[in-house]
């Protein structure tokens, strides 16, 4: 079902299911022989959501094709491992530069507040819908997980007044902040993307940092690749709510994030997806990953 204004979801439907999909990819990537990332909490979170296909993936009960058109799940794991490492390094580098305030926008099942080695005094704000944060909080508490920073869950929809909610939870706009918008922009209408960057800019002291991604023609590429994933998912969970990823993103022309941020006194750097893969010693398969070859990983520093 296509997106509508004010739509809601849980972690097994619509946009929420993509958070579970990403967590499953992180869990699978973490158990590789030479893992690029280590997310010890992803598998437990996926199991708790209860989507049969992804539970079997994280438990190693499914053997999926690694080549050909049906290799989308394997490709997803490679992409998410590299993407996760990119954002992990962003926060680690920001902390090394002395930043002690971080904001994870649309945090989903992200566990960085628990698994990264945050310096003493770091406050990590996680913003997402109330149901998503409540689920993650209770699941991680059940397995005895403890945050490695001062974690503050800000339960608010990004379509609402999230800056006010952030301030209410102790956010200090006078302090430099590390912001992440991971896997988020494609799920925002073009004008909402601009509003998000406007709000981040208004809240960012000089020296603040931002990391995000930009995917040209995201709707077309996601729709093309999601069909194979849906078929694999349906085979193992025929009664489940199986979203078409192409229906979840917003199409239409939007401002290029690099240009938009540069116009608001951010110094912006970009790397293509193949360049990010190469930086981590991973092979970018131009065939299987052709739809991502023009995607950009973006970092910016506020002047």
Enumerate the domain spans of the chain.
14-302
Nearest CA to 128 out of 146, 140, 110 is that of 110
Per-residue pLDDT at 233 exceeds 50: yes
Calculate the CA dihedral of residues 177, 183, 187, 191 and round it to 10 degrees.
Answer: 40
CATH code for the part of the protein at 14-302? 3.40.50.150
Between 67 and 46, where is the model more confident? Answer: 46
Torsion of CA 27, 31, 34, 38, to 10 degrees: 50
pTM of the model: 0.91
Indicate the range of 28-37, 57-66, 150-159, 256-265 predicted with least confidence. 57-66
- 124 CB-contact burial (10 Å; exposed 0-12 / middle 13-18 / buried 19+): buried
Flag the least confident range among 73-87, 88-102, 218-232: 218-232
DSSP string computed for 219-269: HHHHHHHHHHHHHHHHHH-TTS----HHHHS--S----HHHHHHTTTEEEE
Contacts of residue 104, Cβ cutoff 8 Å, sequence gap at least 6: 110, 112, 113, 124, 125, 126, 127, 180, 182
CB-based burial label for 218 (10 Å; 0-12, 13-18, 19+): buried
CA distance readout (Å), 137 to 19, 114, 140, 164 = 15, 11, 6, 22
Which of these, 258, 280, 239, lies nearest to 193 by C-alpha position?
258
DSSP state letters, 97-125: TT--EEEEET-TT--HHHHS-PPTT-EEE
> Per-residue confidence at 242, pLDDT binned at 50, 70, 90?
low
Report the range of poorest mean pLDDT among 30-44, 137-151, 155-169, 238-252.
Answer: 238-252
Residue 15 has pLDDT above 80, yes or no: no
The answer to whether the Cα torsion of 198, 248, 8, 112 is positive or negative is: negative
Handedness of CA 128, 57, 183, 33 (dihedral sign): positive
Quick check: 292 and 183 in contact, CB under 8 A? no
Q: How does residue 298 score in pLDDT terms, banded at 50, 70 and 90?
A: very high
Q: Tens digits of per-residue pLDDT, 172-190? A: 999 999 999 999 998 899 9
pLDDT of 51: 86
* Average of per-residue pLDDT across 205-228: 77
φ/ψ bin of 299: left (φ > 0), alpha (ψ from -120 to 50), beta (otherwise): beta
Is residue 19's pLDDT more than 80?
yes
pLDDT value at residue 227: 61
């Amino acid at each position: 079902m296509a997106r509508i204004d004010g739509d809601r979801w849980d972690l097994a439907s619509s946009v929420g299911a993509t958070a579970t999909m990403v967590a499953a990819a992180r869990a699978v990537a973490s158990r590789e022989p030479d893992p690029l990332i280590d997310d010890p909490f992803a598998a437990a979170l996926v199991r708790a959501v209860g989507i049969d296909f992804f539970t079997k993936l994280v438990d190693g009960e499914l053997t999926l094709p690694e080549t050909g058109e049906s290799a989308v799940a394997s490709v997803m794991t490679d992409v998410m491992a590299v993407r996760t490492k990119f954002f992990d390094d962003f926060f680690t580098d920001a902390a090394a530069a002395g930043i002690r305030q971080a904001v994870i926008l649309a945090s989903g099942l992200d566990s960085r507040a628990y698994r990264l080695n945050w310096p003493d005094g770091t406050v990590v704000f996680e913003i997402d819908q109330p149901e998503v944060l409540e689920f993650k909080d209770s699941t991680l508490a059940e397995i005895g997980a403890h945050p490695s920073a001062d974690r503050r869950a800000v339960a608010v929809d990004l379509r609402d007044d999230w800056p006010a909610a952030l301030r209410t939870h102790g956010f200090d706009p006078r302090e430099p902040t590390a912001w992440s918008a991971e896997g988020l922009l494609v799920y925002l209408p073009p004008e909402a993307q601009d509003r998000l960057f406007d709000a981040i800019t208004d809240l960012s002291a000089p020296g603040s940092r931002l990391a995000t991604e930009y995917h040209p023609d995201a709707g077309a590429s996601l729709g093309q690749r999601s069909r194979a994933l849906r078929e694999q998912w349906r085979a193992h969970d025929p009664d489940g709510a199986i979203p078409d990823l192409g229906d979840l993103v917003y199409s239409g022309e939007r401002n290029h994030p690099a240009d938009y941020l540069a116009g608001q006194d951010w110094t912006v750097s970009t790397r293509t997806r193949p360049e990010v893969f190469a930086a981590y010693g991973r092979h970018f398969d131009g065939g299987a990953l052709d739809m991502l070859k023009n995607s950009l990983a973006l970092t910016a520093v506020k002047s």
